[in-house]
């Protein structure tokens, strides 16, 4: 299959281009030309901006479904719900839970992927926990917290048929450094839900950890005499840092500072739970009742419980707060996530030879069309 997209604007890694024609052939991007390629089908998106598909590397659920439902249906419905929002790749994300529930979720993700997802495609499983500590537990259940265990992880990886690509741990747990040194050979080790010191975090990054979970949330804050987890995340150029840009989890000024500091090592995520794209009301996040009011989800104790953020809105927010070019902010939600997983040669930007995941959207961030590997799987009705 070969065609060209006619569009007003293309968001590239280092600039905006257009108007012009973007060639797509056999599911991959080709060149952008000023003139229409001869004898080729043209898809007219001339009223829209073409951007790389969004890549959400931390998402629990949306549209009333959650990965911890432990069903193939939940994974499939989450996949479908993401496509009209411009998300083409995602990491189905678990929560700290009982061994039985966690294993059921892992098996369900694997089976759903094997069956085939009609919407956004899974790029692997993210285990958020259970190797955390209680001081910054968030909506994770401390009853199941424990020290990291290589043998236990390998059991989960076998259940997942090798598709776990990311795990989050607290650096201060016993054996965390040894676990990280071993596991970082095969997965992205991310640090979060932790009260660790700056030095403890540095020890884990030295051992191979390469990311921090939802920067500023679920972690020891920054102090000028003890930089803590936040200080470690902001000052270590070796590590990526996730961030939730909904304006509730992180103040806009702080988010803008983190963006300026981390630059291409910033990964925009949603941490979205089942209440995303749903009306206010009562929901569950894992084993915890959650109340969503005015789009903000909280536990009964008042703690933030994941988010209801849509990733395109996170981009929209950070671009408005920072005043930075849209092409650069957008890639923090497409290319940076891919790069954090070592997938930047395949996904995350419009470049010749890369997988043709793309979004056609208007100036208000409304998604008109979404394509995966060159196949248009969603198109809105005008």
Same domain, 36 and 105: no
- 3-state SS, residue 264: helix
Same domain, 315 and 190: yes
The question of whether 271 is a catalytic residue gets the answer yes
In the chain, the percentage of residues whose pLDDT exceeds 90 is 91
Number of helical (H) and strand (E) elements in the chain, helices listed first? 10, 22
Q: Residue 181 in contact with residue 167, Cβ under 8 Å? A: no
Same domain, 6 and 86: no
| Mean pLDDT for the stretch of residues 229-252 | 98
Same domain, 31 and 73: no
Q: Residue 307 in contact with residue 93, Cβ under 8 Å? A: no
The boundaries of the domain holding residue 127 are 54-340
Question: Is it the case that residue 204 has pLDDT exceeding 80?
Answer: yes
Tokens for 38, please give them.
């001869």
Query: What values do phi and psi take at 346, rounded to 5?
Result: -105, -40
Same domain, 42 and 72: no
Average pLDDT over the chain, rounded to whole? 96
**Order of all β-strands in the sheet with 121-122:** 54-59, 87-92, 121-122
Cα–Cα distances in angstroms (integers) from residue 122 to residues 36, 89, 103, 272, 293, in the given order: 34, 6, 18, 16, 30
Q: How many CB atoms lie within 10 A of CB 177?
A: 18
Same domain, 317 and 373: no
> Tell me, what's the pLDDT at 301?
79
pLDDT digits (tens, 9 = 90+) for 56-98: 999 999 999 999 999 999 999 999 999 999 999 999 999 999 9
Question: Is it the case that residue 108 has pLDDT exceeding 70?
Answer: yes
Same domain, 180 and 316: yes
Element (H, E) at 234: helix 228-235
Same domain, 372 and 233: no
Domains in the chain: how many in total? Answer: 2
Q: State CA 330 to chain mean position distance.
A: 13
- For the chain, the distance separating the N- and C-terminal CA atoms, rounded to the nearest angstrom, is 25
Same domain, 314 and 352: no
> Tell me, what's the pLDDT at 367?
98
In the chain, the percentage of residues whose pLDDT exceeds 70 is 100
> Tell me, what's the pLDDT at 382?
64
**Annotated catalytic residue within 66, 271, 328, 357:** 271
């Amino acid at each position: 299959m070969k065609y060209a997209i006619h569009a007003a604007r293309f968001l590239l890694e280092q600039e905006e281009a257009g108007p012009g024609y973007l060639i797509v052939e056999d599911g991959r991007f080709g060149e952008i030309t000023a003139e229409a390629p001869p004898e080729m089908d043209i898809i007219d998106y001339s009223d829209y901006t073409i951007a790389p598909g969004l890549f959400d590397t931390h998402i629990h659920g949306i549209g009333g479904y959650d990965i911890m439902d432990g069903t193939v249906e939940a994974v499939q419905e989450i996949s479908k719900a993401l496509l009209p929002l411009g998300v083409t790749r995602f990491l189905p994300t678990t929560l700290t839970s009982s061994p039985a529930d966690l294993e059921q979720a892992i098996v369900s993700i694997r089976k759903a992927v094997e069956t085939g997802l009609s919407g956004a495609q899974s790029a692997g499983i993210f285990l958020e926990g259970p190797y955390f500590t209680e001081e910054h537990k968030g909506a994770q259940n401390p009853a199941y917290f424990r020290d990291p265990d290589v043998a236990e992880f390998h059991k989960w990886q076998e259940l997942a048929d090798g598709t776990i690509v990311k795990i989050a741990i607290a650096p201060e747990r016993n054996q965390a450094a040894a676990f990280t040194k071993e596991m970082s050979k095969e997965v992205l080790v991310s640090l979060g839900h932790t009260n660790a010191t700056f030095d403890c975090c540095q020890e884990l990054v030295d051992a191979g950890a390469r990311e921090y979970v939802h920067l500023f949330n679920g972690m020891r804050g920054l102090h000028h005499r003890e930089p803590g987890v936040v200080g470690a995340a902001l000052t270590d150029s070796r590590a990526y840092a996730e961030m939730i840009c909904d304006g509730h989890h992180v103040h806009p000024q702080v988010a803008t500072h983190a963006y300026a500091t981390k630059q291409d090592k910033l990964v925009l995520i949603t941490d979205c739970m089942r209440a995303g794209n749903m009306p206010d009301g009562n929901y569950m996040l894992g084993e915890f009742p959650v109340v969503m009011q005015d789009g903000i989800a909280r536990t009964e104790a008042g703690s933030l419980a994941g988010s209801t953020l849509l990733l395109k809105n996170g981009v929209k927010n950070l671009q408005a707060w920072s005043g930075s070019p849209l092409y650069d902010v957008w890639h923090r939600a497409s290319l940076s996530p891919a790069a954090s997983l070592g997938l930047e040669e395949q996904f995350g930007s419009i470049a010749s030879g890369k997988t043709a995941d793309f979004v056609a959207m208007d100036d208000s961030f409304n998604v008109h069309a979404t394509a995966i590997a060159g196949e248009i799987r969603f198109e809105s009705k005008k």
